[in-house]
Amino acid sequence: MKAQEFSYISDDGKSIHVRRWTPSGKPLALILAAHGMAEHGGRYAAFAEAMTGRGYEVWAPDHRGHGKTAAEGELGWLAEKDGFRRVVDDLHGLAERMRSDVPGVPLFLLGHSWGSMLSQGFVGLYGKLLSGCILSSTTADGGPVAAVGKLIVALGGRMRGWKTPSPLADTMSFGAYNKPFKPTRTKFDWLSRDNAEVDAYVADPFCGFVCTWGYFRDILSGMSWMSSRDVRNGIPKDLPILLASGTDDPLGGTSGGLQRLIDAYKAQGLTSVDVSLYKGGRHELLHETNRAEVTGDIGDWIARHLPAR
């Protein structure tokens, strides 16, 4: 496996930090990995190693406000407006760059958590570019609770400033996630049953930070947008989609969010939706105790959906 890092310039001039892992020889598939909230693309190195071992090439950007893309003071801040859509368009631009750099190779999108929400928007706009999409630890829109959240965030952002970190919105969103796993060692036990992986997350300066009022504004509006009729109508009916979740994931697995998304895609008439549930799995499937199983299943799923040669 060859690893490299470079900057990709988005269409509005923003420099996006990207990691690229390539196998030996021409790849069988390209995977664009969209990471979750308060983490970064570097955490997908182990996944990339497994995928390159199967002949797949992986690209993982650090989204705006995250990792090495975030300038000083920008952690947890996306954009002045339409931040969610801006990140979707960053992914689109990078997907086109991948298709240009490695032409004729099928492209798959892997989105984890917030990245899976971005990916739900992506497939509605640009799904025809893909041979398949994996939504890991995903959920549907927040429903009535999200409407209340929007009001609180709107008030908080105006009072405190949109670029100010928001412990209140963070607690409202994730404060209850650790409760099912008491007694807990850290505030992030809900991420994984693997203590070493949780500790690595806690120790990483680019992980676990509190995002800004503007970020929460963008993600709440973005979830409504990704679930809108216009966006879902744009998803190719035959696009292969894999929904992967731990049964104990508080985001979608235990909240009902995953089932709402399954039902929505069924109602939409999508014809190639697979679901993989991992008993006891928490939120970060690629950092769980059974991550080798999860990674292997994703690799197998991609192999089954490679276009005939």
Predicted confidence pLDDT, tens digits, the chain (309 residues): 899 999 999 999 999 999 999 999 899 999 999 999 999 999 999 999 999 999 999 999 999 999 999 999 999 999 999 999 999 999 999 999 999 999 999 999 999 999 999 999 999 999 999 999 999 999 998 777 778 888 899 999 899 999 999 999 999 888 889 999 999 999 999 999 999 999 999 999 999 999 999 999 999 999 999 999 999 999 999 999 999 999 999 998 877 889 999 999 999 999 999 999 999 999 999 999 999 999 999 999 999 999 877
Q: What is the DSSP code (8-state) at residue 308?
A: P
The reported pLDDT for the residue numbered 259 is 93
Which of 214, 211, 210, 209 minimizes the C-alpha distance to 158?
214
Contacts 24+ apart (CB under 8 A), 114-117: 114/35, 114/36, 114/37, 114/219, 115/33, 115/34, 115/35, 115/36, 115/63, 116/34, 116/36, 117/84, 117/219, 117/222, 117/223, 117/226
Q: Which amino acid is at 70?
A: A
Q: 3-state DSSP call for residue 174?
A: helix
Domain that holds residue 82: 2-304
The reported pLDDT for the residue numbered 140 is 92
Convert 122-158 to b/e letters by CB count within 10 Å (16 or more is b).
bbbbbbebbbbbbbbbbbbbbeeebeebbebbeebbe
**Does residue 232 lie in a domain region?**
yes
**Does residue 230 lie in a domain region?**
yes
The reported pLDDT for the residue numbered 172 is 85
The reported pLDDT for the residue numbered 23 is 97
Counting the structural domains of the chain, the total is: 1
**Does residue 112 lie in a domain region?**
yes
Packing angle of the helix pair 213-226, 167-174 (nearest 10 deg): 40
The reported pLDDT for the residue numbered 123 is 98
**Does residue 279 lie in a domain region?**
yes
169 vs 148: CA distance, rounded Å: 11
**Does residue 229 lie in a domain region?**
yes
78 vs 73: CA distance, rounded Å: 11
Q: 3-state DSSP call for residue 56?
A: strand
**Does residue 298 lie in a domain region?**
yes
Q: Are 285 and 297 in contact (CB under 8 A)?
A: no
**Does residue 309 lie in a domain region?**
no
The reported pLDDT for the residue numbered 242 is 98
**Does residue 42 lie in a domain region?**
yes
Task: Give the CATH number of the domain where residue 194 resides.
Answer: 3.40.50.1820
pTM of the model: 0.96
